[in-house]
Amino acid sequence: MALNQYCTPSHCHHCDTPMDPLLGGHALCDYCENLCTPEPTTIYEKSYAVHALFEFSGAIQTLMHHLKFDCNPAVVKQLLPDSLAIPTADIVIPVPSHLSRIRQRGFDHVERLFKHRYGHRYYPCVQRVKKTPSLYNQPAEKRKKILANAFQWNPQYTHNCNNQSLLIVDDIYTSGSTINAMIQCINHHCKPKAIAVFALCRKM
């Protein structure tokens, strides 16, 4: 694949329609793009609210695959345009991948999505210390067991998060098991004022 193809896809990532590379920087053709207008929704879980932009289906599902596979800038821009207003908080904590996964991919897709949007609020203070298998199709109890002690506060991060509003950010929100495990880790370390979640997609 030529370098310019990597930077500027010349085919729609979803339907493979050829696109004018001179128009540049688009991951989807106009037709697919029109089907991917963000539809922000909020899901209320027991102890937090989840804000999500998209359903995990169609062209969005294709883009989410690309996000983890090559994370090209056009995909990031399509999923989270700079012009789109997004939820914020005092401190924004990304759901971490295990270091071995980041090395394998060569990038941290959650960081690529959110770091530039949140600037100094972006605070990757939680690390994934256990390499966990896919939680897909696992029953709730099994998920909980897999995620036990998967997260740890990184001692390098010393900012006092007590009484601050926190926003946990991730690419996909599914059952909430990962978020619950992260919240457990956060609450062990500090007493935030409130915790909410922002995910690009919801996959129920």
Residues forming contacts to Zn ion in the complex (CB under 5 A) are 12, 14-15, 17, 29, 32
CB 35 to Zn ion: min, Å: 9
CB 26 to Zn ion: min, Å: 10
> What's the angle, vertex CA 121, arms to CA 120 and CA 124, rounded to 5?
95
Please, which residue, 26 or 51, has the CB nearer to Zn ion?
A: 26
Contact 80, 113 (CB under 8 A): yes
CB 33 to Zn ion: min, Å: 8
Structure token digits, residue 63: 């883009």
Please, which residue, 60 or 186, has the CB nearer to Zn ion?
A: 60
Going by the DSSP 8-state scheme, the letter that residue 14 receives in this structure is T
Quick check: helix, strand or coil at residue 202?
A: strand
CB 200 to Zn ion: min, Å: 19
Please, which residue, 14 or 128, has the CB nearer to Zn ion?
A: 14
The rounded distance, in Å, linking the Cα atoms of 2 and 70 is: 14
Q: Which of 28, 33, 38, 169 is nearest to 108 (CA)?
A: 169
Structure token digits, residue 40: 């922000």
Please, which residue, 67 or 125, has the CB nearer to Zn ion?
A: 67
CA atoms within 13 A on the CB side of 178: 27
The rounded distance, in Å, linking the Cα atoms of 86 and 84 is: 6
Structure token digits, residue 191: 């007493």
Please, which residue, 29 or 63, has the CB nearer to Zn ion?
A: 29
Q: Is the dihedral of CA 161, 167, 168, 174 positive or negative?
A: positive
CB 38 to Zn ion: min, Å: 17
CB 183 to Zn ion: min, Å: 38
Please, which residue, 32 or 182, has the CB nearer to Zn ion?
A: 32
